[in-house]
Structures are given as C-alpha cells and as structure tokens.
Amino acid sequence: MTGAGIEADPGTLVRMVTQPDADPERILLVIRRVEDGALLLARWPDAPRPVLLSLDTPHPDEGFAGGVARLVRARFAVTVRTSRLHARRLPVRMRHPAKGGETVGFLRVAAVEVSGEPSPDGALAGVEAFPPAEAARALSTDLERRAFALGLELLG
C-alpha cells in the first residue's frame, strides 16, 4: 500500500490473474472528469439507473493502468489521466473464472481521472455526469454506494 494507506499496488492485483487458485476479483471504476469534477456513470439500455463501469482484472501483459484506460476509452471515448486502486476489497458472491461455480470473490475499486466530453459506445444507452452527492444517490445498491465512497477517498 502507498499514500495514506488506502492505495494498493495494482501490480499485485494484475499478477493474480495468472494464478488459477486466486480469489476472483472484479474492478469497479469511479470516474471523475477533471474539467468540472463531475462523476461519470454508465447507463445500460435495460437498466433503470446508471451504474459504475466495471472490468475483469487486466492481464499482466496489459497492466492495470493499460486495462483501465482501454475500457474507459472504448466505453466513454475520453482521455484517461490517472488511475489508482483502493486497498480495500469488498466481498461478494461471484462465479470463479477458472474453476466455475459460485464462490466468494471481491470487488476492487479504482479511481480514474479523465478529460474530455464523454460519448458512449454502441452498447451503452448513455453516459451521465453528476456532482458527487447526486452520483451517490443515483446508484441503485448499497454495495455500489460503498464502492463509490471508496473511489471518492482515492480521488481526495
């Protein structure tokens, strides 16, 4: 961990993807636009409320920053400035990617700073920009709101 004890070494997370017995992890992204401080949430066509973007742990050849940047560029068409990984893991039930079947896995939170006007890819219904207090209220689950709060910690 680095900084004030809340930031994790993303290299450790990325290396785990090559270990089939490792606990499965998925990364939730808290994305802030640097120009105005707005938080960007994805809206899927069949979802009633906006959500945090998420991704599987990037492959070691791509790295944490590269995997996050690729997804955010593809989905929102913005420029990624920085990405940081929170040290805390949120336990959830999920399918194990190597073994199959349900197990306890973990959600990790990454804070991502971007610039530019977002434009959703064809799979998304839109990208919504919110001030921090409104973004938290727009999320539909307590788990998403907990993850969002961790992302805001990283963003400072």
The arithmetic mean of pLDDT across residues 150-154, rounded, is 96
* CATH for 25: 3.90.79.10
- Domain of residue 67 covers 7-155
The arithmetic mean of pLDDT across residues 97-105, rounded, is 77
The arithmetic mean of pLDDT across residues 92-102, rounded, is 77
Evaluate whether residue 132 is within a structural domain. yes
Tally of domains within the chain: 1
DSSP state of 132: H
Evaluate whether residue 82 is within a structural domain. yes
The answer for 44, left when phi > 0, alpha when psi is -120 to 50, beta otherwise, is beta
Amino acid identity, position 35: E
Model pLDDT for residues 2-43, shown as the tens digit of each residue: 445 788 877 776 656 566 667 788 899 999 999 999 999 999
Evaluate whether residue 2 is within a structural domain. no
The arithmetic mean of pLDDT across residues 117-124, rounded, is 97
Give the model's pLDDT for residue 20. Answer: 64
Residue-wise burial string across 124-150, b where 16 or more C-beta atoms lie within 10 A, e elsewhere:
beebbbbebeebeebbeeeebbbbbeb
Q: Which two tokens stand for residue 124?
A: 């998304």
Number of Cβ atoms within 10 Å of the Cβ of 91 = 10
